[in-house]
């Protein structure tokens, strides 16, 4: 089945082929040469699909996070994971009984990696069980549901984080550093292009009831979030236009291609594209008075490639999910503050923008944003 997961893996295939030996060596050295004897975050993964598998594999190289449990509706997957990752029976649950994690002191946090529309109820149940939660993005399918998730986690006294792996990516963070320190000068323009040609029409990503939309919920959110952290401001208005060429595949409420534009308080503007019907689109470009920054590929699984007016970016590549989970362990266990937030409030802003984009498409009007 062709999916975003396949796309993100393939989009950087040529870069990986050229640079893999050096990056693997760097990754291994960075992972293995630093001793760590502090607290370890004990993680249960909910949803054992392709991305759940990717996270689990990456966590084998984590220092601060350890996979200790699973939640799945497929008994055969649970058995496979038990064998592969040495997970004890007492840490295995299904979707009906996982509330019992409340009585399991061996699990600190649950990483919810299920279809978008399921996140809200599952996150709230985990919170009520007294466990911290990581939700894969988008956090939910609209801002209303996202706010309910935030409220439930606050009421339960647990943390709610969201799987924004790019917030820890070194080349991305270098551009953010340059912008913050004034090296680029006044930011003028951002362009974000995110898209691929999706395959299997029966997959859940093309089911509005499960996905909450189409390309925007899946791949367009990268451009939304990227515009915010690259420009360094919150947008104050949005306009958007939808193009749909295949109504059989992209039914009502499932967007195929949306172009959208933002305005920021400083006067900077953004122009972005989200699509399920075009390949070779994974690029961020930031233009400023003193220079520019570009990432291409910008959000794939890596290695990310980038350059600025000062030259190529050469920060080392480490598997994104390995870095993400170690950093999230620091946030949960040590109160560490990330350079770019990854909490529920951060994710809620993206959901508010997505709601506004859909409204702008429907009405053909500029929609004001208050984030």
pLDDT, tens digit, 9 for 90 and up, residues 196-237: 999 999 999 999 999 999 999 999 999 999 999 999 999 999
What CATH superfamily classification does 30-163 receive?
Answer: NAD(P)-binding Rossmann-like Domain (3.40.50.720)
Catalytic residues: 137, 222
Q: What number of other Cβ atoms are within 10 A of residue 49's Cβ?
A: 17
- Judged on CB neighbours under 10 Å (0-12, 13-18, 19+), 88 is exposed
Q: Which CATH number fits domain 166-315+344-368: 3.40.50.300, 3.40.640.10, 3.30.360.10, 3.40.50.620?
A: 3.30.360.10
In this structure, are residues 45 and 56 in contact, taking their beta carbons and an 8 Å threshold? yes
Q: So what's the pLDDT on residue 80?
A: 98
Cα(315)–Cα(305) distance, integer angstroms: 9
Q: Where are the beta strands (DSSP E) in the chain?
A: 41-46, 65-71, 92-93, 109-112, 132-135, 160-162, 187-195, 237-243, 257-263, 269-275, 281-288, 292-295, 306-308, 311-313, 367-368
Q: What angle do CA 160, 4, 261 make, to 5 degrees?
A: 75
pLDDT tens digits along 132-143? 999 999 999 999
Q: Model confidence over 161-182: pLDDT tens digits?
A: 999 999 999 999 999 999 999 9
Residue 242 reports pLDDT greater than 70: yes
Average pLDDT, the chain: 93
Entry pTM: 0.92
CA proximity to 361, closest of 236, 254, 247: 254
Rounded Cα distance, 205 and 51, in Å: 13
Residue 369 to residue 371: CA distance in whole angstroms: 6
Q: What is the pLDDT of residue 32?
A: 46
What are the sequence ranges of the domains in the chain? 30-163, 166-315+344-368
Q: pLDDT class for 23, splitting at 50, 70, 90?
A: very low
Asked if residue 40 has pLDDT above 60, the reply is yes
């Amino acid at each position: 089945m062709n999916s975003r997961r396949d796309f993100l893996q393939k989009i950087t295939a040529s870069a990986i082929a050229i640079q893999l030996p050096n990056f693997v060596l760097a990754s291994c050295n960075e992972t293995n040469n630093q001793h760590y004897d502090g607290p370890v975050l004990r993680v249960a993964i909910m949803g054992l699909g392709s991305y759940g598998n990717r996270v689990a594999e990456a966590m084998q190289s984590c220092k601060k996070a350890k996979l200790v449990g699973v939640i799945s509706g497929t008994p055969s997957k649970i058995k496979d994971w038990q064998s592969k990752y040495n997970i004890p029976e007492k840490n295995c649950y299904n979707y009906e009984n996982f509330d019992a994690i409340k009585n399991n002191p061996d699990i600190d946090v649950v990483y919810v990696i299920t279809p978008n529309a399921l996140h809200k109820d599952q996150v709230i149940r985990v919170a009520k069980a007294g466990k911290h939660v990581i939700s894969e993005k988008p956090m939910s399918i609209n801002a209303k549901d996202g706010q309910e998730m935030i409220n439930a986690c606050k009421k339960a006294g647990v943390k709610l984080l969201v799987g924004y792996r790019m917030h820890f990516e070194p080349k991305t963070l270098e551009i953010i550093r340059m912008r913050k320190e004034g090296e680029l000068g006044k930011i003028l323009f951002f362009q974000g292009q995110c898209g691929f040609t999706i395959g299997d029409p029966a997959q859940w990503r093309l089911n509005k009831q499960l996905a909450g939309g189409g390309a925007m919920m899946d791949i367009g959110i990268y451009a939304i979030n990227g515009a915010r952290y690259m420009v360094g401001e919150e947008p104050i208005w949005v306009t958007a236009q939808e193009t749909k060429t295949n109504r059989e595949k992209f039914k009502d409420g499932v967007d195929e291609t949306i172009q959208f534009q933002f305005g920021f308080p400083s006067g900077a503007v953004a122009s972005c594209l989200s699509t399920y019907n075009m390949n070779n689109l994974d690029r961020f470009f930031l233009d400023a008075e003193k220079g520019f920054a570009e990432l291409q590929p910008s959000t794939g699984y890596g290695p990310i490639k980038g350059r600025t007016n000062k030259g190529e970016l050469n920060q080392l590549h480490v598997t994104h999910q390995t870095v993400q989970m170690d950093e999230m362990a620091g946030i949960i266990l040590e109160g560490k503050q990330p350079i770019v937030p990854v909490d529920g409030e951060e994710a809620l802003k993206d959901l508010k923008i997505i709601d506004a984009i859909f409204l702008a498409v429907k009405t053909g009007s500029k929609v004001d944003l208050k984030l």
